[in-house]
Amino acid sequence: MTRIDIPRTTGLIRDAVRADDGFVPLHAPRFAGAEWRYLKDCLDTGWVSSVGAYVDRFERDLAAVFGARRAVATVNGTAALHVALRLAGVGQGDEALIPALTFVATANAVRYCGAVSHFVDSEWATLGLDPDALDVWLTETAERRAGGPVNRRTGRRIAAVVPMHAFGHPARIDRLLAVAADWEIPVVEDAAESLGSLLDGAPLGARGLIGATSFNGNKIVTTGGGGAILTDDDALADRAKHLTTTAKQPHPWAFIHDEPGFNYRLPNVNAALGCAQLEQLPAMLADKRRLAERYRAVFRGVEGARVFEEPAGARSNYWLNALVLDDPTDRDPLLEATNAAGLMTRPVWTLMSDLPMHADCPAAPLPVARDIAGRLINIPSSAALGAERAA
Amino acid sequence: MTRIDIPRTTGLIRDAVRADDGFVPLHAPRFAGAEWRYLKDCLDTGWVSSVGAYVDRFERDLAAVFGARRAVATVNGTAALHVALRLAGVGQGDEALIPALTFVATANAVRYCGAVSHFVDSEWATLGLDPDALDVWLTETAERRAGGPVNRRTGRRIAAVVPMHAFGHPARIDRLLAVAADWEIPVVEDAAESLGSLLDGAPLGARGLIGATSFNGNKIVTTGGGGAILTDDDALADRAKHLTTTAKQPHPWAFIHDEPGFNYRLPNVNAALGCAQLEQLPAMLADKRRLAERYRAVFRGVEGARVFEEPAGARSNYWLNALVLDDPTDRDPLLEATNAAGLMTRPVWTLMSDLPMHADCPAAPLPVARDIAGRLINIPSSAALGAERAA
């Protein structure tokens, strides 16, 4: 196992980002378009809140970019996932299969439904959920029943599977859809990180029953905080809109709420920011791809570390670039050295199964997820770093 | 019972708002201060999201205006109530006492805790929860136990009482605090509508254990969508901050979430709007008071309808002005006529106990809440309508 030279590796990252000194964040937003104008329009018209033209436009723009028939904007990605899981039928006492290697929002959203996360393994090729390992694990653990498979050990219904496209690299969603269809498990696509990514030439986010995405401040396109539910199913989209807006029946004045709903709508002012940001998506994707290529060039021939590349058939958004180390003992010293040098880096998330609050959650064997978590770090990835002017 | 003349009453409302024709909304925001500058500052600095100087400032400003030691900004008022209830100890299988006459968010927040709403009556003097009726009802229904009273009929613990200051008129919070203390029930103050209101010369929102407020688009001060948790207890405020920010432990890079948390933080861009709006609160309160006085003047001597006035000892914010009709059969014709004439009006909320989704929730007798719901309508109340220039 080849060890890396920590100071030299730190220097290579500094070279790639072409920033002589000073702090380089992991991912900074860029506001170079109509943000200002659209925000002013919100103030001038007084439409800053729940209803407004930018919400409608943002939803239309999102549907197009994610290749979904419908998008329903939400206050953040966690809210979108929560409602997507609910609409997929995840309820009290169910289990949802999620990768152990994901952000905590996925597991929290399962919990908000009264359900239990059931952690499954990832694969190195995509960093996402491994559909083949899933199939093997289901064969070992689950029993086919009417209404969906049941976990033999816990007796709980397996109500959904939630692939997540880590750092913008598409998971093998088509193989996963086949496995899930065979097991009669609805697929809820967690597209929080994959805005603009393509697989086999087409966008992804609503290839399963329903999906969710995020526009948090660290995402390629940000609305401050925001998210969306994605689906090709009009009835599900209508239900999503209803549930995210306190389940109020339309009426000129009366307050009739016909089921327990949520206050999950995206304010118009945040949607305005999103509309302006989406207009710049092609430029941001180009800049991020240029930065990814620069990382690859800088690390070419370096032993002990490689830059993670998009999976076969995918055109990734390279939301967060990643460095994969041969030797896991290099990880923490490199994190220490880079952050001390003003280059913001981070490991992937703590495996969900390792958080004490998930001690009672079932989990498949997780050898690959654990290997990824031990050897992969994210490195600075702002679009601005890849802009031509920085070349 | 005196009936009103519907066309004449519609005309009087039109006179009071001094708008010759055209649509008059129920409550429109006003952006006449530094909104523009602060939003631009967010874009220029790139700080639009979770962390940022405006969030910190907004929390400080809010604590001051609500007379609370601490404020924790949240993504909306529902989120603030949810976390406030959780921190008051409301959990699975508990009951929370809430007025039947409130917005659905109060009942939804109780449900998110896994608890059941238990509806209680309001009083005409304040439009809020009646502390004396509550005391009588508790004597009839509840049994004192260690850990708090238990509902004798359902066997469930009564874990909190949630007064709400309807339309900005302070409930009799001090009497309620005494009743709640006697019964050992924590008070969670729903101050969603009472920003800037005073009772006995002091603001309210954190007189109980913890409180919550809202900055939805229809509120006096709006952040597009937003809210805050209010408390004098530093430990509770710290817990609130932790729970609303995914319960992530502070660390330069590691992702350790030590309990199930929420993505409930307010984005910096919305907080910036809030800071600018709060600077204008005194002017907005003055304009709203002027409009309330104009309504009173216009309806002086009119039989069959009166303008609702602030309770004794209170200086209300007059968030939404209200017309109280003698005869409930006048309500719907007046709603029809005013809305048809472009004057946006609405009844109060459907009593929570009347919504089918609450059919299984316990309820005290609700004669006053039902009477209020039958005879009170809200009338246009934007601050701009009371501005001097409109005089």
The pLDDT, as a whole number, for residue A19 is 80
DSSP A310: P
Rounded to a whole number of angstroms, the distance between the first and last alpha carbons of chain B is: 34
- Residue A373 lies in domain: 6-30+281-390
What pLDDT score was predicted for residue B390? 45
Q: How far is B223 from chain A (nearest CA, A)?
A: 8
Task: Give the pLDDT of residue B389.
Answer: 59
Q: Which residues in chain A have Cβ-Cβ distances shorter than 8 Å to B103?
A: 255
Beta pairing partners, A157:
A150
List CB contacts (< 8 A) between B248 and chain A: 104
CA dist., res. B8 & res. B327, Å (int): 16
Q: Are residues A198 and A83 in the same domain?
A: yes
Cβ contact (<8 Å) for A269 and B224? yes
β-sheet bridge partners, residue A122: A129
- Examine the fold and report which residue of A255, A279, A303 is the final residue of a domain before the chain moves on: A279
For residues A275 and A285, state if they share a domain: no
Contact A350 B254 (CB under 8 A): yes
- Provide the CA A376 distance to its chain's centre, in angstroms: 17
Same domain, A318 and A360: yes
What is the C-alpha to C-alpha distance for residues A264 and A75, in angstroms, rounded to an integer? 5
Report the C-alpha gap between A310 and A318 in whole angstroms: 8
Say yes or no: B296 and B273 in one domain. Answer: no
Q: With a cut of 70, which residues of chain B have pLDDT below it? A: 49-51, 389-391
- Taking chain A (391 residues) in consecutive chunks of 10 residues, what is each chunk's mean pLDDT? 94 92 92 94 82 92 98 98 98 98 98 98 98 98 95 98 98 98 98 98 97 94 96 98 96 93 96 97 98 97 97 97 98 98 96 98 98 98 85 42
Instruction: Inspect the interface and report whether the beta carbons of A357 and B257 lie closer than 8 Å.
Output: yes
Q: Which residues are within 8 A (CB) of B305 and not within 5 positions of it... i.e. 6 or more apart?
A: B4, B9, B299, B323, B324, B325, B326, B330
Helix, strand, or coil (residue B95): strand
Q: B268 and B369: one domain?
A: no
Residue B1 is assigned to a structural domain of this protein = no
- pLDDT on residue A357: 98
Residues on chain B touching A261 (C-beta within 8 angstroms): 104, 108
B94 lies in some domain = yes
Q: Are B273 and B38 in contact, with CB atoms under 8 Å apart?
A: yes
Same domain for A256 and A325: no
Q: What pLDDT does A389 receive?
A: 59
Q: Same structural domain for residues A122 and A100?
A: yes
Q: Are B233 and B367 in a shared domain?
A: no
Residue B129, helix vs strand vs coil: strand
State how far the Cα of A216 lies from the Cα of A226, in Å rounded to an integer: 6
With CB atoms and an 8 Å threshold, state whether B111 touches A28.
Answer: no
CATH code for position A230: 3.40.640.10
* A238 & A383 share domain: no
Nearest CB to A49; choose among B112, B222, B255? B222
Alpha-carbon dihedral sign for residues B251, B254, B259, B264: positive
Q: B170-210: per-residue pLDDT in tens?
A: 999 999 999 999 999 999 999 999 999 999 999 999 999 99
Beta bridge partners of A211: A189, A230
Q: Of A221, A250, A279, which residue is a domain's last?
A: A279
Per-residue model confidence as pLDDT tens digits over B241-290: 999 999 999 998 899 999 999 999 999 999 999 999 999 999 999 999 99
Q: Which of A279, A309, A330 is the last residue of a domain?
A: A279
Taking the CA of residue B150 and the nearest CA in chain A, the distance in Å comes to 25
Task: State the pLDDT at residue A46.
Answer: 83
Nearest to A217 among B50, B78, B357 (CB): B50
Q: What is the pLDDT of residue B306?
A: 97
What's the DSSP call for residue A115?
A: -
Interface touch A31/B46, C-beta < 8 Å: yes
**In a shared domain, residues A259 and A311:** no
CB B306, CB B88: distance < 8 Å = no
Q: Can you give the pLDDT at residue A50?
A: 66
CB-based contact B21:B342 (threshold 8 Å): yes
Total tally of structural domains belonging to chain A: 2
Left if phi > 0, otherwise alpha if psi is -120 to 50, otherwise beta: which for A313? left
CATH number assigned to the domain comprising residue A384: 3.90.1150.10
**B269 to A224: CB separation less than 8 angstroms, yes or no:** yes
Residue of B nearest to A354 (CA): B256
Cβ–Cβ of B267/A79 closer than 8 Å?
A: no
Mean pLDDT of the residues in chain B: 96
ipTM exceeding 0.90, yes/no: yes
The CA angle B377-B227-B183, to the nearest 5 degrees, is 75
Global confidence as pTM? 0.96
Whether B50 sits inside 8 A of A265 (CB atoms) is: no
User: Residue A369 domain-assigned?
Assistant: yes
- Say if residue A47 is in the same domain as residue A187: yes
